[in-house]
Amino acid sequence: MRLEGKVAIVTGAGRGLGKGIALKLAKEGAKVVVSDVMEENAREAVKEIQEAGGQALAVVSNVADLSDVNRLYEETLAAYHKLDIVVNNAGINRDAMLHKMTVEQWDQVIAVNLTGVFYMTQAAAKIMREQESGSIINISSASWLGNIGQANYAASKAGVVGLTKTASRELAKKGVTCNAICPGFIETDMTRGVPEKVWDIMVSKIPMGRAGKPEDVANMIVFLASDEARYITGEVINVGGGMIL
C-alpha cells in the first residue's frame, strides 16, 4: 500500500491505460477520482475499484473544456479535501498523412492532448503549490519523437514534454514533481483498433517481443506518485519494452 492516504485524479480513466492506472493506484491505497467523457465507463471503473475494496469517485469531465476541468477539481476537493496525484492520461488520435490532414483533425488532437494537459496541470499547480506537495504525471508517447501519419499527435505529445519540463522547474521549490511517461505500444482499446498487419509490424519493433499491458505503465506511475520518487522531476521516462532507446 505505497499510496495509502493519497488522493489521485486520473483523466481518461474509463478504459484502456487510464483504467489500468486507476485500478492500480486504488490497489496501492489511493482514493481515486476516475474522470472521463464516457460516463458509463467511468462508473464501471469505479464499481470495479470498490468491489476490490478500494475508494473511488466518478466525475464526467472533458479535459478540453476549462469549466469541466474546474468542476473536476472542485468535486475532488469536496469529496476528499486534498490532492496528491494527477495523472493526465486522456488522449485521442486522428491519424492522417500531413498532406491530407484536415485542420479539424489537427485542432481536435491539440485541444485534448495538449490544451487539456495545460488546463489540468495549471489547476493542479495552483492547489499543489499551496499544499507544498504533489505529483503530476503526464502521459506523452514514444510518438513525440515523430511518427508517420501522426503530425498532430506527435506535436501534441512533444508539447506535453515541454510543458512537463517547464512545470517541473517552476514547481520544484514547492515540493511538487512533474514527470512525463512515454508508453511504447500498449494493448488498449486505442491500439486494438489497428489492422492486424500494423499490429504485427509494431510488435516486431519491440525487443521484448510483445505489446505492453496497462499494468506495465501503471507500475511506473505508482513509483512516481510515491514518496520514494520525491527527488525525481522533469524526467521523460520510456515504458516500451525497449522499443524506444
Catalytic residues: 153
Q: Find the shortest distance in angstroms from Cβ 190 to ligand NAI.
A: 3
Interface pick for ligand NAI out of 15, 24, 27, 31 (rule CB under 6 A): 15
Nearer to ligand NAI, 80 or 153 (CB): 153
Contact status, residue 138 vs residue 158, Cβ threshold 8 Å: no
Give the contact letters, 64-103, x = binds to ligand NAI (CB under 6 A), - = no.
x------------------------xxxx-----------
Q: What's the closest the beta carbon of residue 233 comes to ligand NAI, in angstroms?
A: 20
Rounded CA-CA distance 137/180 in Å is: 6
Residues in the chain: 245
Backbone angles phi, psi at 150, to 5 degrees: -130, 40
What pairs with residue 178 in β-bridges? 136
Smallest distance from the beta carbon of 107 to ligand NAI, in angstroms?
A: 13
Binding mask 107-146 for ligand NAI (x = CB under 6 A): -----x---x----------------------x-x-----
Query: Which value, to the nearest 10 degrees, does the dihedral of the CA atoms of residues 97, 211, 213, 178 take?
Result: -50
Please, what is the Cα angle at 56 between 55 and 62, to 5 degrees? Answer: 165
Give the cell for residue 89: 492520461
Q: Which is nearer to ligand NAI, 119 or 227 (CB)?
A: 119
Out of 10, 11, 125, 159, point to the residue binding ligand NAI (CB under 6 A). Answer: 11
* Residue 14 vs 134, nearer CB to ligand NAI: 14
DSSP 8-state class, residue 50: H
Closest CA to 64 of 156, 188, 137: 156
In whole angstroms, what is the distance from residue 43 CA to residue 37 CA?
A: 11
Q: Which residues pair with 10 in a beta bridge?
A: 34, 87
* CA count, 13 A, side-chain hemisphere, 113: 28
Taking the least distance from each CB to ligand NAI, the nearer of 26 and 174 is 26
What is the rounded (10 degree) CA torsion for 163, 96, 147, 119? 10
**Minimum CB separation from ligand NAI for residue 12, in Å?**
3
Asked if 241 is part of the footprint of ligand NAI (rule: CB under 6 A), the reply reads no
Rounded least distance, CB 64 to ligand NAI, Å: 5
Closest Cα partner for 25 from 222, 245, 215?
222
String of contacts with ligand NAI for each residue 165-204, x by CB under 6 A: ------------------x-xx-xxxx-------------
DSSP 213-240: -HHHHHHHHHHHHSGGGTT--S-EEEES
Least distance in angstroms from the C-beta of 15 to ligand NAI: 4
Binding site for ligand NAI (CB under 6 A): 11-12, 14-18, 36-38, 41, 62-64, 89-92, 112, 116, 139, 141, 183, 185-186, 188-191
